Chains A and B, each alone.
Chain A
């Protein structure tokens, strides 16, 4: 890359230091383009071969008042030459576009860390708005850190001069200046972002040119300015050989649904009502109509699940996606799918609650809702992906179980998985096992029997349009075998037990849990869902220290993996880290009579590795 300066030759290259892993965070106003800068940095880091893990963290308001603490949007990424599990505990480098961004994020910076501040934004009014009594750049607020004061606003304005941009348009390029500077600091190429700019602003060439200039100007500033003594290089990660892409949890869920449809040979209808943080699944599938996938933006959550069930009744793969409040609204319809025994996949991208709660923040508090949250005895299968890319495999598993057992399956993703990104060694379609659907027929009976069961206790999926298989289903209790409406007391208990037994068999063989460590010891950590990375990293550290700690991560939550009780009983203690008040822990205690203990965090933020490490230490210390 050539910096856009005519006398670049005058500058001697600065030293390049090799380091293993870095955590950086871009922070600014929600209109400052921090999510875009962070995404671009992640894309580039993945493309140069680092392992990455990301944590976008933004407010629910689209544009909170400028300069306020409420409006601060952040994007954290850890990139490494090693296999990493989390977006990082402490931040090595913070880019703060204004005083509010500095105030909200500075406590996460490690002592000695780098903070790059947009000096132009540190004016009296915004300093006060951020709650500082004095300019933090002038007192000892930042004494523990290496502070670089960069006039990002004015240098960006200068870089884009002469392109005929309004002040507002020029100001919007400042994220690219900051990104360019950080690219220099961590020795990243500009190509991917330059290509992105060219494609995104193809129709507005002067805006494309302005962003390009700002990006290059930031990069050149790093190289030429006196303030940076050296910069850093992070080698390629030693990932398993293969072809990779970057993927977020929502992208992976969308791809998984479409792929399941291919594997089953049935069209997909994804019906959904927009809700944070699940909407991107709807956007992604809508964009991929060329695969044959159909989407339906329904009038509400109930209509979305209704349409998915209707589509399923008529032979499609019916799926819906939402977040916790949406699941609450869909509950009655999910009960109908349990009663009518139709396949259905519900992706619940969990967020902080109750009620509207924290729409853009992560939480794992819908486990009870997924397992128990419907009237009467109403079992569904519940699965949970453990990384962003794992959402792909999990929704395919969900459909495999849904059509085999003719049952709704709930997939518990969350905001952290949905928006977080990681490198993914993606499979080819031919590598994936087809989804087989048992044929429905009259089986020699005079009338088709819609509730006759196969060896899996599953009823036939007979599609409207097929002569001879006409039948009626509904929410009233069914007579076994015939499916006729029945109020018979013994039949009801029989059917309740039958539905429970059927779902209790719906295991995802071989993928129900991930185990790390010995099968007995002092402490077993049992986790589920998005806490995988933090638990895995902490357990590895603990074992390096010689502690007898193992990790069991559940992908199947209902039914629970076979033999789980015996596995837990081989440990002196069981600790269950969850982003809720101990929901899985309660289920494990009730089901297996083990003295499992909670490790809870309910702050809308994922566990850090040190959160779990402290939990491990405390559990082992306690006699």
Chain B
């Protein structure tokens, strides 16, 4: 990222240097604390400068994020963070712009903007905290809540079907799409660093536990004994394996993923992860894999290069200016035809 420098005369910053003086007010035990800690760690590690970093959010628990960062920050309105971020990035492409959003903010009220910011490949990093519930409004079902989920607004179980954030991102042509888990801190740090260094929209879904309104939603992926059978770590160029001793794997059968025993089928039959594939079809298929039928992939689903919106907007202006040469602004005001009254 252009905003990050490690010149010798610039003091090296520690994670704590990115903390603002405001008290963090998330509930004790909330998964957001881990995300905040890893983000600060990554910013320090990549040499980010607070003055060149902007955090923008909408509304919800996740959207309090900017207040806790000693960077520039904008806590905006519900669902619209991508629109403000687009304006900031066009205004100053040198800035490193981050969006903190949630499953309600990003996928419900802000679904439209999420699709378009990704489609345009605006050079921003989107962190979608997915806790599968509305936290700040105290526990209604969200667009990622499972069918039948009983909440205050669905006492008999919701009759809606959940969307999969990564499927939506990939459907909108995301050039970078990844998933991480709040408590899997080392891996979260790795994914955040990858997102921060990608040029273009980086979309990261973070499984985040709301210990008040939806505790244990990701128990299958975080419980030490259950996790190996339910999570696949994606690595570019490596076969998809999981389970204890990587005994299980995924292969394609009739264009569908299938869980196999590696010993039985042999390693050559396994699906090899390719995050750089131009066609996002395999990444999309991975985004559809859901517990309990499948282990759920985490890591980088897709990472490809494409021109960014913000720089292209600037480039077009530069091109028009170069073509016009020395512009006489008064001729712009005068327009093509004038006449003089004596």
Contact = CB atoms under 8 A, between A and B. Distances in A.
A306 B75 contact: no
Contacts of A485: 22, 67
Given A308-B87, A315-B92, A473 B73 contact: yes
Contacts of A247: 335
A465 B51 contact: yes
B72 A471 contact: yes
Contact of B87 (A262, A310, A474): A310
B270 interface: no
B50 interface: yes
B74 A310 contact: yes
Interface string B29-55: 000000000000000000001111010
Given A313-B74, A468-B51, A474-B76, A289 B316 contact: yes
B340 A306 contact: no
B334 to A, nearest CB: 6
A223 interface: no
B313 interface: yes
A466 B314 CA distance: 21
B272 interface: no
Contact of B83 (A259, A310, A472): A310
A482 to B, nearest CB: 10
B321 interface: yes
A429 B52 contact: no
Interface stretch (A178-186, A237-245, A501-509): A237-245
B70 to A, nearest CB: 6
Contacts of B85: 310
Contact of B20 (A259, A428, A472): A472
A303 interface: yes
B22 A474 contact: no
B308 interface: no
A47 B337 contact: yes
A466 B49 CA distance: 10
Interface string A164-194: 0000000000000000000000000000100
A503 B116 CA distance: 35
B80 A333 contact: yes
Nearest to B330: A428
Interface in A508-526: none
Contacts of B82: 303, 306
Contacts of A245: 334-335, 337-339
Interface stretch (A141-149, A293-301, A578-586, A588-596): A293-301
A590 B92 CA distance: 45
Interface string B80-104: 1011111111111011000000000
A427 B333 CA distance: 8
A125 interface: no
A302 B56 CA distance: 16
Interface in A287-333: 288-294, 296, 298-300, 302-316, 318, 332-333
B253 interface: no
B112 interface: yes
Nearest to A291: B332
A333 B74 CA distance: 13
Interface in B104-140: 112-113, 115-116
A464 B51 contact: yes
Interface in B308-342: 313-314, 316-317, 320-321, 323-324, 327, 329-330, 332-335, 337-342
A283 to B, nearest CB: 14
A302 B74 CA distance: 16
B21 interface: yes
A261 B159 CA distance: 52
A336 interface: yes
Contacts of A271: 87
Nearest to A238: B341
Interface in A542-578: none
A192 B337 contact: yes
A269 interface: yes
Contacts of A90: none
B311 to A, nearest CB: 12
B333 A429 contact: yes
A464 B89 CA distance: 11
B261 interface: no
B322 to A, nearest CB: 9
B91 A315 contact: yes
B211 interface: no
B66 interface: yes
A306 B86 contact: yes
Contacts of B92: 314-315, 463-465
A426 B75 contact: no
A466 B76 CA distance: 21
B158 interface: no
Contacts of A467: 49, 51
Contacts of B51: 464-470
Interface string A191-205: 010000000000000
A313 B339 contact: no
B334 A464 contact: no
B230 to A, nearest CB: 36
Contacts of A192: 337
B226 interface: no
A112 interface: no
A414 interface: no
Contact of B86 (A251, A310, A447, A476): A310
B75, B95, B316, most chain A CB atoms within 10 A: B75
A338 B287 CA distance: 41
A261 to B, nearest CB: 10
Contact of B116 (A47, A289, A303): A303
A294 B321 CA distance: 12
B167 interface: no
Interface in A237-291: 239-247, 251, 255, 258-259, 262, 267, 269, 271, 288-291
A465 B51 CA distance: 5
Nearest to B113: A303
B77 interface: yes
Contacts of B320: 289-290
A236, A293, A469, A470, most chain B CB atoms within 10 A: A470
Given A255-B332, A316-B87, A470-B50, 20 more contacts: A243-B341, A244-B339, A245-B338, A255-B333, A269-B87, A289-B321, A306-B87, A307-B90, A308-B87, A310-B74, A310-B86, A310-B88, A313-B91, A333-B77, A447-B21, A463-B92, A464-B95, A472-B69, A472-B74, A474-B73
29 contacts: A47-B339, A242-B340, A242-B341, A244-B339, A245-B334, A245-B335, A245-B338, A251-B335, A291-B332, A294-B314, A296-B313, A299-B113, A306-B76, A307-B86, A310-B88, A313-B84, A314-B95, A316-B87, A318-B91, A426-B333, A429-B329, A464-B51, A464-B54, A468-B51, A471-B73, A472-B20, A475-B76, A475-B77, A485-B67
Interface of B: 20-22, 49-52, 54, 56, 59, 66-67, 69-77, 80, 82-92, 94-95, 112-113, 115-116, 313-314, 316-317, 320-321, 323-324, 327, 329-330, 332-335, 337-342
